[in-house]
Amino acid sequence: TEWKLVVKKILKILMVLLLLLHKILPTKGNLTLSDLDWLGEILENNYTMEVSIPVGNSTQTYTILNNPVISSYQNCTNLPGICTHLVNCILPDFTASLQEFLRYFCPITGNFVGVCCPFSHIHPSNTDS
């Protein structure tokens, strides 16, 4: 019904506001890009960090940002969580398997590699900048 759509939109807006107001950043933990066993298989350009990711029946080129300015974007549609840049949320769940990573993959506007970061990995930033 119509009111459910309105509530859903309001919840999305509130989540974005919460992220902005509290500077919420997904935790990196101890994992880095070097922990992704499969990254070398899809890396096209080591300098620009461009990767080929299978999307449907083709592959598309995306870029991995090492120091993104904005950390979180839209809610995920495939899993519960927030879409964020890969470097901000490298999970043990997908370090060994590209197929498993693809379950978490979410494109970020500008053809950047995003990952659906579970809400349990999202914490307030400790910085006041």
Summarised one tens digit per residue, pLDDT across range 55-103 is: 889 999 999 998 887 766 788 888 899 999 999 899 999 999 999 999 9
Tens-digit pLDDT profile for residues 12-51: 676 655 554 444 444 445 788 999 999 998 888 877 899 9
**What SS3 class is residue 49?**
coil
> Which own/partner contact pairs does 50-54 have at CB distance under 8 Å and 24+ positions apart?
51/113, 53/102, 53/105, 53/113, 54/102
Q: Which long-range contacts (CB under 8 A, 24 or more apart) does 56-64 make?
A: 60/107, 60/111, 61/111, 62/107, 62/111, 62/112, 62/113, 63/110, 63/111, 63/112, 63/113, 64/33, 64/112, 64/113
Written as one letter, the residue type at 3 is: W
For the whole prediction, is pTM greater than 0.75? no
